[in-house]
């Protein structure tokens, strides 16, 4: 290897079973570098981890830095990481050119030979070093910051030196047997009753540990007639936070006020006269009340998922899109403000379940740490595939009808 710039990275884990080593080597070549496997120690038993040392080289130092950053998405770290380089952000909303682009894996940064954990893992952000509690007793913290939120002069970690990431979460052998749905890709050819039981058991464990269950939902929850099952899950305490768009809340409220969803009578499965107006009339009713919570308090809204969330005191974040009607007064129309509101609800989340929504699922996956187990349920297997392709490698899926799934889950958790 005659390239002038090189470094050795170490990667540890179930390298053969998971294909991590192959992905590391492929990425080196794809990004224009070269590699030499210096050592490969394979575990002798199935549960044993393996370790590889790979010498990575590139013709330019900047290219080597970018390759190392890419390899860190697989949990590969330089053997000699050095210490982090800090540069000031040149302007509000702008990182230095060589900023470290984060992964969704747990990360540490080394400053003056001391490793500091990053407060929260999130992909496609930067790392900012702050001093808090100034004075002699002050301390240094490292934060994950989206580019839209960085401020001029902030100390930004640049390059890959002094940054270490943890291996992607793996399913332990005991968990693999107890939670088989976590160890394979989305499929419709699985025993759904067993999968639902496994998800229910995981949710019970999360709640028993004092953590939160995050739901991300689309309007098909209402269209399929599954809203009553969702209400039972809220009332049973298994919906701690809800992320959605304008549509789920609008059609849920439409169903509560008019008995229809998109103008279709949910009891008869047929359209009703002037039913196409019901969703916008529902929005207008809530706008007149001032908010969803105000409509509940005044007795205007007396049923449905949103009513249950308000009555249970559970937070929800509704973020809209350019095609929204209305929207409801609770909807964030500034997507950056919506992202911030979603991030504010993530501390304490121990499990995330996404049902019948592609765009909101991908958006939530982008801000979740890889350490949070994530299950995506959709009638379309492409939803799970796209979620995983966009960096949420921990996403596992169930391909099924949302109405049937939620009814079964409610029977398990809220009989």
Longest Cα–Cα distance in the chain: 76
3-state secondary structure 307-359: HHHHHHCCCEEEECCCCCCCCCCCCECCHHHHHHHHHHCCCCEEEEEEECCCH
pLDDT along the chain (415 residues), means of 10: 81 86 95 95 84 95 92 92 96 96 94 91 96 69 96 96 80 40 50 88 96 97 95 98 97 95 82 88 97 98 98 98 94 96 97 94 93 91 76 79 94 88
CA angle 254, 258, 263 (to 5 degrees): 70
pLDDT in tens, 240-299: 999 999 999 999 999 999 999 988 878 877 788 888 899 999 999 999 999 999 999 999
Question: Phi and psi of 403, rounded to 5°?
Answer: -60, -45
Q: Are 3 and 53 in contact (CB under 8 A)?
A: no
pTM: 0.87
pLDDT in tens, 198-253: 999 999 999 999 999 999 999 999 999 999 999 999 999 999 999 999 999 999 99
Instruction: Indicate the average pLDDT of the chain.
Output: 89
């Amino acid at each position: 290897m005659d390239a002038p710039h090189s470094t050795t990275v170490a990667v540890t884990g179930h390298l053969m079973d998971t294909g991590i080593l192959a992905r590391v080597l492929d990425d080196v070549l794809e990004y224009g570098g070269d590699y030499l496997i210096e050592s490969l120690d394979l575990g002798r038993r199935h549960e044993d981890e393996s370790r590889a040392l790979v010498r990575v080289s590139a013709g330019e130092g900047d290219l080597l830095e970018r390759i190392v950053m890419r390899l860190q998405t697989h949990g590969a770290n330089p053997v000699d990481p050095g210490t982090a380089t800090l540069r000031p952000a040149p302007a509000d909303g702008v990182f230095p050119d060589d900023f470290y682009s984060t992964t969704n894996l747990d990360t540490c940064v080394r400053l003056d030979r001391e490793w500091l954990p990053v407060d929260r893992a999130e992909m496609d952000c930067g790392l900012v070093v702050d001093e808090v509690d100034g004075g002699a007793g002050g301390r240094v913290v490292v934060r994950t910051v989206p580019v839209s939120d960085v401020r001029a002069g902030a100390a930004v970690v640049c390059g890959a030196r002094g940054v270490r990431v943890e291996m992607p979460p793996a399913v332990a052998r005991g968990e693999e047997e107890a939670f088989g749905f976590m160890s394979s890709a989305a499929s419709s050819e699985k025993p759904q009753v067993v999968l639902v039981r496994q998800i229910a058991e995981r949710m019970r464990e999360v709640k028993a540990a004092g953590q939160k269950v995050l739901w991300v939902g689309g309007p098909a929850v209402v269209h399929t007639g599954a809203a009553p099952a969702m209400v039972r899950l809220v009332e049973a305490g298994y919906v701690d936070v809800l992320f959605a768009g304008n549509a789920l809340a609008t059609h849920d409220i439409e169903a509560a006020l008019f008995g229809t969803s998109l103008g279709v009578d949910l009891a008869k499965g047929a359209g009703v006269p002037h039913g196409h107006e019901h969703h916008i009339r529902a929005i207008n009713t809530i706008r007149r009340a001032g908010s969803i919570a105000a409509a509940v308090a005044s007795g205007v809204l007396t049923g449905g998922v949103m009513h249950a969330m308000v009555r249970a005191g559970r937070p929800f974040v509704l973020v809209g899109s350019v095609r929204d009607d209305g929207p409801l007064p609770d909807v964030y129309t500034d997507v950056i403000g919506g992202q911030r509101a979603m991030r504010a609800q993530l501390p304490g989340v121990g499990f995330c379940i996404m049902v019948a929504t592609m765009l909101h699922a991908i958006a939530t996956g982008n801000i979740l740490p890889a350490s949070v187990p994530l299950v995506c349920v959709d009638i379309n297997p492409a939803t799970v595939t796209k979620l995983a392709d966009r960096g949420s490698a921990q996403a596992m899926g169930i391909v099924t009808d949302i109405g049937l799934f939620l009814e079964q889950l409610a029977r398990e958790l809220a009989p």
